[in-house]
Amino acid sequence: MSNAHFPIKKIMTTSTTNKEFEQELISTLSDYVTAVAWSPIGSTLAAVSAAGEVVLWQNKELFFLQNATGESVDCVSFSHDGNFLAVGGQDGRVKIWQDRELIANLKNATAWIDKLVWNPQGNQLAFCIKTYVQIWDADRNQVIATVNFEDSSPLGLDWSGDGKHLAVGGNKGVKFGIASIGMRNHISWKCPQ
């Protein structure tokens, strides 16, 4: 992990308003930024790039969790409590950090990971690979479910606010997963009526 400090500040104005914004950081990555996510706790911002970089901006410092790899990272998300950061991208891997330490590197079939979302009530991460969805449990450090979406790649993925349901949308339909997260995990899928 390398880190760099960029203490550049200036006042910016937008063309549509007179509000002033204080610019906290000016930095460049190797390629364009593909996704950003704020931690729900504190003021940490994560960003990922088309070059494969994963960075955190914390306390006015930039920390590189992953340097450029040449393969795009396309999605990034913090867990509900801010303890975990997950990314996915072109190399088919889902990587999870806790306190800036890589704790899981889920190697999947060579397929682009472009959607991932944390359960808002727990430490379960759902992500799409080809025509299926996997759910990884951070507390157990293991995949607890794999569900085939069959006719298409999942195009939408989201947990319900109570964390009990996972909706997956794709070609010609939506499937809902009913998950009992606890000692036993049960995922059953049904189409809404």
Higher pLDDT, 186 or 156: 156
Residues 60 and 53: their CA atoms lie apart, in Å, by: 18
Domains of the chain, first to last? 2-114 (2.130.10.10)
Per-residue pLDDT at 110 exceeds 80: no
SS3 99: coil
Q: Please state the length of the chain.
A: 193
Nearest C-alpha neighbor of 102 from the set 59, 138, 49: 138
Q: What is the average pLDDT score of the chain?
A: 80
Place of tokens 């494969």: 52
How close are the terminal C-alpha atoms of the chain, in Å? 50
Handedness of CA 30, 6, 76, 185 (dihedral sign): positive
Higher pLDDT, 193 or 88: 88
CB 170 within 8 A of CB 157: no
Percent pLDDT > 70 in the chain is: 74
Per-residue pLDDT at 39 exceeds 80: yes
Q: What is the predicted pLDDT for the residue at 23? A: 60
What are the tens digits of pLDDT across the range 43-77? 899 999 999 999 999 888 889 999 999 999 999 99
Q: What burial class does residue 76 get, using C-beta atoms within 10 Å of its C-beta: 0-12 exposed, 13-18 middle, 19+ buried?
A: buried
What are the tens digits of pLDDT across the range 134-163? 999 999 999 888 888 777 788 888 998 998
Q: What is the predicted pLDDT for the residue at 152? A: 77
Residues 128 and 136: their CA atoms lie apart, in Å, by: 11
CB 42 within 8 A of CB 28: no
Place of tokens 């950090």: 97
CB 157 within 8 A of CB 126: yes
Per-residue pLDDT at 24 exceeds 90: no
